[in-house]
Amino acid sequence: MKQLQISLLLAAALSLAAASANAQPATSSPAAGASASPSTPPTIASTIDREISLVEKEVVEAAEAMPENKFDFSPEKLNLAGSDYKGVRTFGQQLKHIAASNYLIWSPITGEKPPDTVNDGKGPDNMRAKAEIIKFVKESFAFGHKSVATLNSSNLVEPITSKSGRPTTRLFLATFAAAHCFDHYGQMIEYLRMNGIVPPASRGQ
């Protein structure tokens, strides 16, 4: 039964790789296609790496679009009638949480120790400058690219332990981190629009 589950997971991952390769146009942006050129057959690692590149581009561009004096913005400041935004993360805190979580989620893939600055997924408390936060985010994605480059068919679903102590697999961690990024990216988009800023991904549409 276990062998069947592993086979099905591998088949699903390889199918995703093939589908992603077919869907990727030859004129794609460097960030989206950085993990594999059109002439290079996709692999499990390159397919997941492409997914990371996509969300990395969206997150970084959204971060760069927000003025530095709005990095401490949260919807709580708007005092919207009937809303409940008390205690939600500011824009800058969203970014620090993304970066810190990237390290925590991806580190068990290789066993490499995440930096001490992850601070239980909150990032450095004293980090407030826009440039510093964006640098922290970019470095966390570089860590992710490095981690998923080690994925292959023999270690993809090998049982490992997450940072929270739960049993998991490298496949789950590699893809869950990207999903988690997209979750918070969606919140960042709302923060941009609440400040009259059209998200970069939506401009010209």
> What pLDDT digit, counting tens, does each position of 66-105 carry?
999 999 999 999 999 999 999 999 999 999 999 999 999 9
**Contacts of 20 by beta carbon, 8 Å cutoff, 6+ apart:** 42, 47, 50, 51
- For all residues of the chain together, what is the average pLDDT? 87
Residue 158 pLDDT exceeds 90: yes
Which pLDDT does position 130 carry in this prediction? 98
Joined tokens for residue 3? 């062998």
Q: Is the dihedral of CA 86, 90, 96, 98 positive or negative?
A: positive
How far is it, in rounded angstroms, from Cα 91 to Cα 154?
39
What mean pLDDT do residues 32-61 have? 85
Which pLDDT does position 15 carry in this prediction? 46
**Backbone phi, then psi, for 181, in 5-degree steps?**
-60, -45
Q: What is the CATH number of the domain that holds 109?
A: 1.20.120.450
Residue 189 pLDDT exceeds 50: yes
Residue 169 pLDDT exceeds 80: yes
Domain that holds residue 56: 2-202
What mean pLDDT do residues 162-183 have? 96
Runs of H (alpha helix) within 76-169:
91-110, 130-148
What mean pLDDT do residues 8-13 have? 46
What mean pLDDT do residues 130-142 have? 98
What mean pLDDT do residues 61-65 have? 98
What mean pLDDT do residues 33-44 have? 70
- pTM for the model stands at 0.81
Domain count, the chain: 1
Residue position matching structure tokens 């068990």? 108
Which pLDDT does position 145 carry in this prediction? 98
Give the residue with greater pLDDT, 137 vs 40.
137
Joined tokens for residue 142? 């570089």
Residue 116 pLDDT exceeds 60: yes
